[in-house]
């Protein structure tokens, strides 16, 4: 839908499922991110877009 969300150090977010999305670091210092996946072996957590 074209929305942009800017995050700062310490912010959190819930990643969407079933919707193509991406992210990029627009800052001047390297980005560090911690990702936690919760799911099961029947549900894919990554689907490549054409």
Domain that holds residue 34: 1-50
* Tally of structural domains, the chain: 1
pLDDT of residue 50: 76
pTM: predicted TM-score of the whole model, two decimal places:
0.59
Question: Which among 2, 42, 43 is positioned nearest to 22, based on CA atoms?
Answer: 2
| Beta carbons of 44 and 50 less than 8 angstroms apart | no
What the block records as the tokens of 31 is 């980005």
Residue count (the chain) = 50
Q: What is the pLDDT of residue 47?
A: 79
Q: 10 Å Cβ neighbour count for 39?
A: 9
In this prediction, residue 11 carries a pLDDT of 94
What is the C-alpha separation between 7 and 25, in angstroms, rounded? 10
Q: 7: which 2 tokens?
A: 């995050």
Categorize the per-residue pLDDT at 48 as very low, low, confident or very high, splitting at 50, 70 and 90.
Answer: confident
């Amino acid at each position: 839908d074209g929305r942009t969300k800017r995050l700062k150090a310490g912010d959190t977010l819930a990643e969407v499922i079933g919707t193509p999305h991406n992210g990029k670091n627009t800052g001047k210092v390297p980005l560090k991110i911690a990702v936690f996946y919760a799911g099961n072996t029947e549900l894919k957590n990554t689907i490549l877009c054409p």
